[in-house]
């Protein structure tokens, strides 16, 4: 299976010489085995990130991968897709919260082992229950409501398993937006430590 860099990177406006500054930058990040999640979690982001993960696994199944997250969250299903791909590939994955990691973005963070979940000093993390827009006939609304309940239960169980917090506490905390500083996230079990530089990530 062959993955070309122009396939796994977002399309960028081409300059007159046919080069793309952002494409070159993104290729440099991929060469450094580093992925950025810096937008809402949706199908476009998921397609890019999962392709990058598969490419890096194909390139070297043992060298670790770093993922920096600065995202308000988004689609829980796309969050699950990225989560599953991180668990699916062979390399160790280190995930660093850099800015905002909220909602589906924190679900993605749970894919890494606790020791590999990190945050920069001024980042903010938030967990909450999922929500969906309801439309259609009454039966569709009822079934969507049932799906929301199932997803809420699944996410709460994931948070409980990965943080060590009692499920009852997770259920109470995610009833509303639950914000944490990096130090509070360490105490909560969401991340393992706060880092200030690459040497601390690689250490």
Exactly one of 20, 71, 97, 128 is catalytic; name it: 128
Cβ neighbours of residue 83 under 8 Å, at least 6 residues apart? 107, 108, 110, 111
Exactly one of 20, 97, 103, 123 is catalytic; name it: 103
Neighbours of 55 (CB within 10 A): 19
Whether 128 is catalytic: yes
Phi-psi region of 173 (alpha: psi -120 to 50; beta: other; left: phi over 0): alpha
Neighbours of 167 (CB within 10 A): 13
Whether 103 is catalytic: yes
- How many angstroms separate the CA atoms of 99 and 123, rounded? 4
Catalytically active residues are: 103, 128
């Amino acid at each position: 299976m062959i993955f070309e860099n122009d396939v796994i990177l977002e399309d960028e406006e081409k300059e007159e010489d046919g080069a793309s500054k952002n494409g070159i930058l993104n290729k440099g990040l991929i060469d450094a085995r580093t992925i950025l999640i810096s937008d809402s979690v949706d199908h476009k982001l998921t397609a890019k990130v999962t392709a990058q993960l598969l490419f890096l696994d194909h390139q070297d199944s043992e060298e670790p991968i770093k993922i920096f997250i600065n995202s308000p969250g988004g689609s829980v299903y796309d969050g699950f897709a990225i989560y599953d791909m991180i668990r699916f590939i062979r390399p160790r994955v280190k995930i660093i919260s850099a800015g905002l990691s909220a909602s589906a973005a924190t679900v993605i963070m749970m894919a890494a082992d606790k020791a590999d979940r990190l945050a920069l000093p001024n980042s903010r993390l938030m967990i909450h229950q999922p929500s969906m827009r309801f439309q259609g006939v009454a039966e569709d609304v009822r079934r969507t409501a049932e799906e929301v309940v199932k997803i809420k239960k699944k996410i709460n169980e994931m948070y409980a398993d990965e943080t060590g917090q009692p499920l009852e506490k997770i259920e109470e905390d995610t009833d509303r937006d639950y914000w944490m500083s990096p130090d509070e996230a360490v105490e909560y079990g969401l991340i393992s430590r706060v880092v200030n530089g690459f040497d601390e990530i690689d250490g």
